[in-house]
């Protein structure tokens, strides 16, 4: 299957600093693809190269199997990390303007915009200036502008940043509906918990490099076998001294242990029983954050 979007060896440096160091990724049609990593990892730089805001120093960007064109860029729904709205325009006029930039006819745009505003509970604000809206409301306006042209490919850079839980759920519901219609979503985020719930495939970036990529379910199977859940009584910090333990995450006596490669759970259990009282110890499927930590450490080793 031809990828909806593909990057081959993308590189970008700024004043000698390599922000993106040869990233490869392929986004399957109809999927939710997560471009993941901490702040400063190179995610936004990668997206800006996809959108031709900045040019790559090397590499190739393909849309539907061919070099990206200006028409391809106009057809993409793009929500940037740095929100940009014309604050003196009314909400309705602003969204109509955004639709016209995508080549939509103004006459048909007004009822479409009004339908969207009703859906996200902004109808009564349609004649108000953008600057009168709260940050969360403004973010809803930008999301409407992204989806308004009904694009086949949407690129969202940190779309949940600054949203309250209700609006986060609204965004998630819209993304799920969009995906159910066979659309393709590239989602950039540093919040692994959100990505784990939304994404089919992920590319984990650290220091401008792709440290791990693939289908999320397959990665969990591949990276599993060395993550254990424990319930203990005693000084949990002592577990960090156990030779076979790479990472300890603890809360209220419940502990998640990431073991080093080649270390068996039984061996670690014997060691930790000498340090704390163990009530439960079992192997678990790693979550995305645990996978990322292990991938980054493996890449740096």
pLDDT tens sequence across 150-178: 999 999 998 888 788 888 898 889 999 99
Indicate if the pLDDT at residue 225 is higher than 80: no
pLDDT in tens, 87-103: 899 999 999 998 998 88
Average pLDDT over residues 14-38: 94
pLDDT at 68: 93
Write down all domains in the chain, each with its CATH number in brackets. Answer: 5-215 (3.40.50.300), 225-284 (3.30.70.100)
pLDDT at 299: 66
Indicate if the pLDDT at residue 250 is higher than 90: no
pLDDT in tens, 103-159: 888 888 999 999 999 999 999 999 999 999 988 889 899 999 999 989 999 999 988
pLDDT in tens, 45-68: 999 999 999 999 999 999 999 999
pLDDT at 213: 92
Indicate if the pLDDT at residue 298 is higher than 80: no
pLDDT in tens, 233-242: 999 999 999 9
Average pLDDT over residues 7-12: 96
Average pLDDT over residues 14-39: 93
pLDDT at 160: 85
Find, among 153, 213, 158, the residue nearest to 22 by Cα: 213
pLDDT at 85: 87
Indicate if the pLDDT at residue 79 is higher than 60: yes
Percent of the chain with pLDDT over 70: 98
Indicate if the pLDDT at residue 24 is higher than 80: yes
pLDDT at 281: 92
pLDDT at 300: 64
């Amino acid at each position: 299957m031809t990828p909806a979007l593909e990057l081959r060896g993308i590189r970008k440096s700024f004043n000698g600093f390599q922000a993106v160091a040869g990233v490869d990724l392929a986004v399957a049609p109809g999927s939710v693809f997560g471009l993941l990593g901490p702040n400063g990892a190179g995610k936004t730089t990668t997206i800006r190269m996809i959108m031709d805001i900045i040019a790559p120093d090397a590499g190739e960007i393909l849309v539907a199997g061919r070099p990206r064109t200006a028409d391809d860029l106009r057809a993409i729904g793009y929500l940037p990390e740095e929100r940009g709205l014309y604050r003196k325009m009314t909400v309705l006029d602003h969204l109509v303007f955004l639709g016209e930039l995508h080549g939509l006819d103004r006459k048909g745009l007004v009822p479409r915009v009004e339908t969207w505003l009703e859906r996200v509970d902004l109808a009564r604000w349609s004649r108000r200036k953008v600057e009168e809206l709260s940050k969360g409301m403004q973010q809803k306006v930008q999301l409407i502008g992204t989806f308004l042209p009904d694009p086949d490919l949407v690129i969202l850079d940190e779309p949940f940043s600054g949203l309250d839980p209700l609006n986060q759920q609204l965004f998630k519901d819209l993304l799920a509906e969009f995906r159910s219609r066979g659309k393709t979503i590239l989602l950039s985020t540093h919040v692994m918990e959100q990505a784990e719930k939304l994404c089919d495939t992920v590319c984990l970036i650290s220091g401008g490099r792709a440290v791990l990529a693939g289908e999320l379910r397959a990665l969990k199977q591949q990276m599993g076998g060395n993550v254990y859940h424990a319930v203990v009584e005693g000084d949990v910090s002592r577990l960090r001294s156990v030779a076979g333990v790479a990472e300890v995450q603890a809360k209220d006596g419940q502990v998640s242990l990431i073991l080093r490669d080649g270390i068996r759970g039984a061996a670690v259990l014997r060691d930790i029983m000498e340090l704390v009282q163990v009530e439960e110890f079992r192997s678990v499927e790693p979550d995305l954050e645990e996978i990322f930590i292990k991938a980054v450490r493996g890449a740096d080793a």
